[in-house]
Structure formats: structure tokens, C-alpha cells
Amino acid sequence: METAESTSVIDPRELRNAFGKFATGVTVVTCRTPDGTPHGATVNAFTAVSLDPPLVQVTLIRGNKASQYLEDAPFAINIMAAEQLDICLNFAGKPMKEPPRWRSDDGIPVLEGNAATLECKPWRIYDGGDHIIVIGEVIAMEINDADPLLFVSGKFRELGGYCDGNPWEASGDALAFGWFEGSTSFKSF
């Protein structure tokens, strides 16, 4: 049996390529700088954590300016719509000709035109190696009728057609089977 010391070293580029095979949505995490200026960072490492309490997670590169501003500060997760590629690139370091449009000057800075927006108050921040893991509690949200922007294998994509099947159909974890409701009897497959 191999131990941690005897295993081969993982090539970071190949690991990044493997991670890239997992298609994700694209978000821009927005917050305020210490002087109150809206600031954002494009992030595709986002996930839902909990419905009760309502928690979400983003992972930011350690040293990224946004990661420094999120300590004990409210923030928004702007889930990018397919039409927002220019905004996504802007917050990834390729400035747009025109500045991005913000919903308002009050409160947590939120971009206009998102597929969805989650406004969060800080919950916890964890060490994630060369990243920090930020957990936020959702305090407000907005959902719009817009397709999300996707990212896979280092490229942006748009949503395609649906695949057949329903992921909850005949699943032991399906809400319809009552497993999440504390049931003591379960339907047979």
C-alpha cells in the first residue's frame, strides 16, 4: 500500500485540466473596498451549501483583492447570464470600454442583468491552500429569466439542450420518497 510520502507528485497543470472538465456556471463576487467603492472578481468556484440556514460558498485565490475585502463584510454572488461575457471578462482583468452597470449605489454592490443574484452576510472563512473558502448566509436573492453563462475546459459556453431523464426519478434521495421529511417507511423501487 502506498503512503502519502510515496505517491507521485500531481502536476498542477494536469490537475487544472482535470478540474476544467467539470462544467460550472460563472459568477462575479462583488463587495465594497474599505473606502466604499464597488469591487468584483470573476469566480467559477461557487456551490450551494445548505438550505437551512441558507448558505453558499465561493472560493477565491488567496491574495486576490476581493478575498481581502470579504473578511467580515457583506458580498453578492452575481450569477452571470449568457449575455454578460463582457462583464465577466471585465472582472477577470480585461476592462470593458464602458463601466459595468450597478443596480444601485446603496448596500451590497450588485450588477445589473444577472441570471440570479445572492446577497450574503459573512458566515465563515476557511483556509483552502492557495485559495480561501468563503461561506456566506443568503439574506436576499433575485432570480431572472436568463440563461446562465457556463465555463468548461477553459472556455465560456452557452447552455445547450436538455438531456433525457430526471435526476430525481426513482432516486432514493428524491423528495417524493419522503427521505428528507424524517419518514419511517419508504416506497420500494
Does residue 105 carry a pLDDT above 90? no
> What tens digit of pLDDT does each residue of 52-97 get?
999 999 999 888 888 888 888 999 999 999 999 999 999 999 998 9
pLDDT tens-digit map of 150-187: 988 888 888 888 777 666 555 556 555 555 555 455 45
Domain spans of the chain? 12-160
In contact, 104 and 56? CB cutoff 8 Å:
no
What is the CATH T-level fold of the domain 12-160, as seen in this structure? Answer: Pnp Oxidase; Chain A (2.30.110)
